């Protein structure tokens, strides 16, 4: 949907528009359900961490990346999210770093290297792929802040407040960067419907449900459910956007999913030797 919407909105205009619309849904809900909550200083710093990494930087890199590379490449690079989450959690949360995780890193990055090596054709670019990798890293770091903040606050409060902070930052950035905020046809029924769905469902409710999941099972375990993203993204890009699939995409997809599965313990979970 973001790839489609970049035909009607500049990337650095699309991100604040989507976030402001999502915030317009989340804030009234949190005020109605829980009233005005004043987080402690440490909780507010964690919420700012969520806003900065999971939303502000992630949305900027994501909007820019999908505009400059193919949806296929974008989906495969985002598929590294579970692997990177597990790796960071190993260092920051003192979880064991096993041989399976080392193999996962090897296979995961091999898949990404294959898909960005220029083997495939299409509307991809190295700069766009790098932006997508930055989007992945920032989301992973933000997920760790989500886990920290939701230990003392409800996911609804964390989601609403972090979106509010990020929306302000994105609006200010967009004000200085965008000479125009929309292209021809942006306010026709179909683009508007896609924008509304992307903002209210994918962004607002999606973020809320994601944060609820992280609160309950942790960032690393929640990230396992992103394993379906590359499969959905690659074939959705081919079906909806007409992007072609080549052998490199299938090979990279297998490598990334294998790497993620090994790195997060989905397979090879009996591996017990830890390396520090």
Least confident of 48-62, 65-79, 146-160, 207-221: 65-79
Does 113 map to a domain? no
Asked whether the predicted pLDDT for residue 49 surpasses 50, the reply is yes
Give the confidence band of 108 by pLDDT, cuts at 50, 70, 90. Answer: confident
Does 92 map to a domain? yes
Does 196 map to a domain? yes
Does 47 map to a domain? yes
Which CA distances in Å does 51 have to 44, 144, 145, 198? 10, 12, 9, 18
Average pLDDT, the chain: 82
Q: What pLDDT was estimated at residue 17?
A: 94
Give the tens place of pLDDT for each residue, 172-223: 999 998 899 999 999 999 999 999 999 999 999 999 998 888 888 777 667 7
Residue that has been written with the tokens 């440490």 in this structure: 42
Does 136 map to a domain? yes
Does 268 map to a domain? no
Q: What pLDDT was estimated at residue 116?
A: 60
Give the tens place of pLDDT for each residue, 224-264: 666 666 666 777 777 777 777 778 778 877 887 887 777 66
Does 31 map to a domain? yes
- Please state, in angstroms and rounded to a whole number, the distance separating the CA atoms of residues 162 and 120: 38
Does 68 map to a domain? yes
Long-range CB contacts (< 8 A, 24+ apart) of 175-182?
177/12, 178/10, 178/12, 178/13, 180/10, 180/13, 181/9, 181/10, 181/13, 181/17, 182/8, 182/9, 182/10, 182/13
| Domain with 84 in it | 2-96+123-244
- Please state, in angstroms and rounded to a whole number, the distance separating the CA atoms of residues 17 and 45: 24
Q: What pLDDT was estimated at residue 242?
A: 78
Q: Count of domains in the chain?
A: 1
């Amino acid at each position: 949907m973001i790839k489609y919407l970049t035909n009607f909105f500049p990337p650095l205009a699309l991100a604040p528009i989507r976030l402001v619309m999502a915030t317009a849904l989340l804030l009234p809900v949190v005020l109605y359900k829980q009233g005005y909550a004043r987080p402690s200083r440490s909780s507010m710093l964690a919420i700012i961490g969520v806003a900065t990494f999971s939303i502000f930087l992630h949305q900027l890199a994501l909007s820019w990346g999908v505009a400059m590379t193919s949806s296929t490449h974008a989906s495969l690079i985002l598929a590294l999210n579970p692997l990177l989450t597990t790796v960071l959690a190993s260092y920051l949360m003192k979880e064991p770093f096993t041989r399976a995780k080392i193999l996962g890193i090897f296979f995961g990055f091999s898949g990404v290297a294959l898909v960005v090596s220029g083997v495939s054709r299409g509307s991809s670019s190295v700069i766009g792929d790098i932006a997508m990798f930055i989007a992945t890293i920032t989301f992973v770091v933000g997920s760790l802040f989500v886990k920290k903040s939701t230990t003392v606050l409800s996911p609804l409060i964390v989601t609403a407040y972090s979106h509010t902070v990020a929306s302000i930052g994105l609006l200010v950035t967009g004000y200085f960067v965008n000479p125009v905020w929309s292209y021809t046809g942006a306010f026709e029924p179909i683009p508007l419907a896609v924008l509304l769905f992307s903002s209210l469902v994918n962004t607002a409710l999606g973020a809320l449900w994601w944060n609820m999941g992280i609160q309950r099972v942790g960032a690393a375990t929640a990230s396992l459910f992103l394993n379906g993203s590359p499969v959905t993204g690659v074939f959705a890009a081919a079906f909806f956007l007409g992007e072609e699939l080549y052998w490199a995409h299938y090979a990279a997809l297998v490598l990334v999913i294998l790497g993620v599965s090994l790195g997060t313990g989905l397979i090879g979970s009996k591996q017990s030797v830890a390396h520090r």
